[in-house]
Amino acid sequence: MFDLNVYIKEKKQLINDALLNIIDMDSTDRVTRAMLHSLMAGGKRLRPILCLAATEAVGGDPANSVCPACALEMIHTYSLIHDDLPAIDDDRLRRGKPTCHVAFDEATAILAGDALLTLAFQVLSSPPSINDLSPLKLLEVIHIISRAAGYQGMIEGQMQDISFEGKQLGLEQLKGLHKLKTGTLIEASIRTGAVLGDGSTQQIEQLGEYAKHIGLAFQVRDDILNVEGDPEVMGKAAGTDIDRGKNTFPALIGMEKSKAFAKKLVSDALQVLENFDTKADPLRAIASYIVDRKK
């Protein structure tokens, strides 16, 4: 029987080891220390793990996806560093540790985020990432990730999140906001893994649909945890969404309907995977984990 806990532990170790091979853990450089402070703070590594799992689901070798998976985690971490800044969410705690601008200062945090974003594309285009991949395939991956992380994806979602504070959105508007803010990078992680695993066009599109469902489910669960989660378990404060007047699913449709909606999204994601064999079991288990997680 598939054991998700064992799978996540193994993949996290693989990603962490690879990240430490990319960035010098012993560096005394201030920006590097700030990058490592946030990058190695003990995150879930969900996006890189999804990338590796998608490669496996289409029958590919996950070794080809390790460096791109690390790049995805760098982009995710950069976005968290910048989101935590006083100009945006002004958070003091992330993953149970002081946020980057608290541990260092605002200027260093901004530069650390910039450095991680830039390094991600350095990694994506460097020889260790390429292995036996064709240049066109690597270019496709870079296009997928850069589009998801850019002004038509994650950044636009963050901009909407800020702009709509204190204003009530409709349900479809809220879904659209979070599909951009959270969902696009999750979808990019899965599509990247499927492309690197030589998935067929049909497989890549099906996994893209799976990703859309779990990406939104992830955000719904985040909204729920911000209301009823344990700060000690989450490693960050609860109740901040209400304080900032943010649009959330519990605020709009209520807690019980939000929980039911998250479960429906997971059910839809699992249905998309019906044509995949047991190699997609990690993706199936991760979908369920997303709505059951405590942090």
Specify whether the CB–CB gap between 184 and 176 falls below 8 A: no
Query: Beta-carbon neighbour count of residue 42 at 10 Å?
Result: 11
* Mean pLDDT, the chain, integer: 94
More confidently predicted of 239 and 247: 247
Over residues 172-189, the pLDDT tens digits come to: 999 999 999 999 999 999
| Residue 244 binned pLDDT confidence (cut-offs 50, 70, 90) | confident
CA distances from 173 to 163, 210, 248 (A): 13, 21, 11
Ranges of H-type helices in 84-200: 100-103, 106-124, 127-130, 135-149, 154-163, 171-178, 184-196
- Average pLDDT (16-22) is 95
Over residues 33-47, the pLDDT tens digits come to: 999 999 999 889 999
**DSSP bridge pairs for 93:** 98
Query: What pLDDT score does 1 carry?
Result: 84
In the numeric block, the tokens 């590594």 are attached to: 45
Specify whether the CB–CB gap between 105 and 246 falls below 8 A: no
Domains in the chain (CATH in brackets) are 4-292 (1.10.600.10)
Stated length of the chain: 295
Full-model pTM:
0.95
**DSSP bridge pairs for 98:** 93
In terms of Cα–Cα distance, which of 197, 224, 211, 220 is closest to 286?
211
